Amino acid sequence: MSAVQRICVGDWDLRGVDLDSLFAAGELSDTCLDAAIRTQARFSDKFPGWFLYRRVVSGCPLYDRQLEAWAVGCARSLARARTVTGHPWIAGKVRARPGWVAQAGRDALDYAIFGRYPASASEREGYFGVSDKTYTKLRDPVAQSMWIGLETFRAELHSEYWRVRRDEKSA
């Protein structure tokens, strides 16, 4: 085998392990479980990072009810929030219309999980009677926050996996 062939073979071997597939498995290794526990402990107990991550990488719907409740709560919290100037993020009369705030949270969760919204803001406008601008003013920041949280959790989880592996080898 020539030096060029050895380098090419070596390069393919260095690609590494796809960690998402390790964490998507039906049965997780002790290393994966340790990494997941350590990672979740770094985040607020109000953030369902592990549930969201497992939903994305494995498609496991086991935690869908908890994720939906979290998403609706996030949307309701932002809808009640005030801007830096003290004005409401969403006006009280608009916020009081039934159902749309919860649906914006569910749509945001779909974006975090599937990478797309299940319906356009104009479709939601027709159904809920809330302008598409108001709907996106709520849905989009919630969706982006969820996505950022998921990606941050993923990065921390992968990093923690390698720490656990290092600790296991040194023990």
Which amino acid does the sequence have at 14? L
Alpha carbon 72 to its chain centroid, in Å, reads 14
pLDDT for position 81: 97
Confidence band of 18 (pLDDT split at 50, 70, 90): confident
d(CA 165, CA 171): 10
Query: Domain ranges in the chain?
Result: 19-170
d(CA 152, CA 144): 12
pLDDT at 6 over 80: no
Residue 81 CB-half CA count within 13 A? 15
165 contact partners, CB below 8 Å, separation of at least 6:
31
Summarised one tens digit per residue, pLDDT across range 128-168 is 999 999 999 999 999 999 999 999 999 999 999 999 999 99
Helix (H, G, I), strand (E, B) or coil at 83: coil
Whole-model pTM? 0.85
Mutual orientation of helices 64-80 and 49-58 as an angle, nearest 10°? 120
Q: What percent of the chain has pLDDT over 70?
A: 90
Per the structure block, which two tokens stand in for 119?
């319906």
